[in-house]
Amino acid sequence: MFHDQSVIFIDAGFLLSAGSSTVTGTSLRAATRVDAEQLISGIVGITRDNCKLDPLRIYWYDASRDGVLSDWHKKISLLDDVKVRLGRIGVNGQQKGVDLRLGLDLVEVARNGSAKVAYLLSGDDDLAEAVEAAQDLGMKVVLLALEDKNRYLGIKSVAEHLAYKVDRIIVLPQELIHSTFTPATRTVVPGSESLSELSDSQPASTPSPGPFRDLGRRRRR
């Protein structure tokens, strides 16, 4: 039996790069400042409108040096119902362990019957098997995506194999992306910063004291 709630899995590296690309034309995370609180709150509102269920939790997956929380990660983790899960930045500048953590959590939530619907915001082909495993356990899996009319599927940077496996695809409103991602004041030249530096960059607009706009609950003390 599944509990009457949803769960949201967000690949932050994917979301922040795709959002930056939408707003500035470059996928470098440092190219934009992000209002993370408004962004997460907007995503929660979209999922609630879709399934009429409150979220069990919002899982925020990212990578950092040595898997240690940055100041920005700490502020995000203090938001109600948000759990930050970190992978590491490898020696080649690529994130390690993020997809594995996300996939394991997705299947575990389905196995425990903790939520009826999972919302997945990622584009990685490696998650297709975890999606199928969660579905086999009885959970519905919905993909959240950013619009890209120039792509075959009409969505940005999502592997076709993953898109074909999910139960439904919901495109995030352009207004949400453009209201939460703003171009950085400094110019970012592609190749001028390593991925490891970008992963720990802290957007100027970070979560501020106060409840989620949509959840309307107090922060943890």
The percent of residues in the chain predicted with pLDDT above 70, rounded, is: 82
List pLDDT tens digits, range 2-48: 999 999 999 999 999 999 999 999 999 889 999 999 999 999 999 99
Summarize the confidence of residues 57-81 as an average pLDDT.
Answer: 93
Q: Give the model's pLDDT for residue 97.
A: 80
Q: Give the model's pLDDT for residue 74.
A: 95
Task: Inform me whether the pLDDT recorded for 188 exceeds 80.
Answer: no
Following DSSP, what letter does each residue of the chain receive, concatenated? ---S-EEEEEEHHHHHHHHHHHHHS---GGGEEE-HHHHHHHHHHHHHHHHS--EEEEEEEEEEGGGPPPHHHHHHHTSTTEEEEEEEE-TTS-EESHHHHHHHHHHHHHHHT--SEEEEE---GGGHHHHHHHHHTT-EEEEEE-B-TTSTTSBSS--HHHHHHSSEEEEPPHHHHHHHEEE-SS---TTSS-HHHHHT---SS---SS--TTT--PPP-
Superfamily for the 6-199 domain: 5'-nuclease (3.40.50.1010)
Q: Domain map of the chain by residue range?
A: 6-199
The percent of residues in the chain predicted with pLDDT above 90, rounded, is: 73
Task: Inform me whether the pLDDT recorded for 62 exceeds 50.
Answer: yes
Q: Give the model's pLDDT for residue 186.
A: 56
pLDDT band at 66 (very low <50, low <70, confident <90, very high): confident
List pLDDT tens digits, range 97-107: 899 999 999 99
Summarize the confidence of residues 160-168 as an average pLDDT.
Answer: 97
Summarize the confidence of residues 165-189 as an average pLDDT.
Answer: 88
Mean pLDDT of the chain: 85
Q: Give the model's pLDDT for residue 208.
A: 34
Cα torsion through 150, 182, 201, 57, rounded to 10:
-80
Q: Give the model's pLDDT for residue 61.
A: 96
Nearest to 99 by CA among 172, 13, 30: 13
Cα torsion through 153, 158, 160, 166, rounded to 10:
-90
